[in-house]
Structure 1
Amino acid sequence: HIEVGEVLDDGFRLISVKGPQRSLAKALKKIDLIVDEESQGLDDSETAQSVLVPESKVGLLIGRAGKNLDALRSDTGAYICVTKPKADTEQREAKVQPREVKVRGSPAAVAAACSRLTELVSYEEEE
C-alpha cells in the first residue's frame, strides 16, 4: 500500500509504503525509478505528449497491480504517468472529469504509446 502526501513547505512529499518485505523492496525500486525519471528533464532526443483518458477508463488502463500499464511501458519503451484525480470528489464520483496521462520518450515510443492509449479508450467506448 503506497500513500503519497501533499507537497511540504520544502518542496518534498512524504511517501509511506506498507506491506510484506518482498513487496516493499519492489515498490521502493519502482518509486526510485519514477523519481529518477521525473527529475531528469527531456533530452534532445525525447518528446512528451499528454492524452486525456475518461476517469471511468483509468482502471482498465492501469490494470490489476499495474500490469496493463507496465506492459504498455515495456511494449512501447515510453515513460507513462497517470495523473492523480482532481480533489473534487463530486466530479470524481460522477466520472466526468478526464485524467491526464503523460507520455515521455523517443518520438517513436511516444507515438506508439499515445496510439495504443487512444485505441484502448476508443475501443472501450464502442462497447
Structure 2
Amino acid sequence: MNDSERSHSTYARKWMDDHLDMYNMALLLGDSEWQDRLLKKMADREKLIAKELRVIAHAEVLRNFESLNKDLLNLYEQMRVSSDKEELIALRDRIWELRALRMDVYKKLLAASIPPNERNSANA
C-alpha cells in the first residue's frame, strides 16, 4: 500500500467513524431526520470521501502556489534594495528556480481543480 492509498484509507476510516458517532448521537436524540441524512451519506461514502479528498488536495496545492508567490515577492524586494552584484546574481538564480517550481505547481493546481458543482460543498 503506497502513501496515497494509506492516506485515503486513514481518511475514509476517520470519516466513517465520525459519521457513525454522529449517527449514534442522532439516535440518542431521537432525531430520525438526521439519522436518515447520515445513512444516505454513509451509503454514498466512497463518492463523498473522494470529493472531500479532491477539495483537500486542491487547497494544499493552492497553499503551495501562494507560498511560492510570497517567496518570489520577497526575493524581488531583496533584489530591489540590494547593490551587491553577487547577491543579485544569487537572487536572480533563485527567482528562476522558484518560477519554474511555481509553473509545476500551477499545472498541478489545474489538474486538481474542482468542478464548480463541487466547490464549497465538501461537507454537504
**TM-score normalised by the chain length of structure 1:** 0.24
Q: Considering fraction of residues, name the structure with more strand.
A: 1
Q: Which has the higher helix share?
A: 2
Q: Of the two, which has the highest radius of gyration?
A: 2
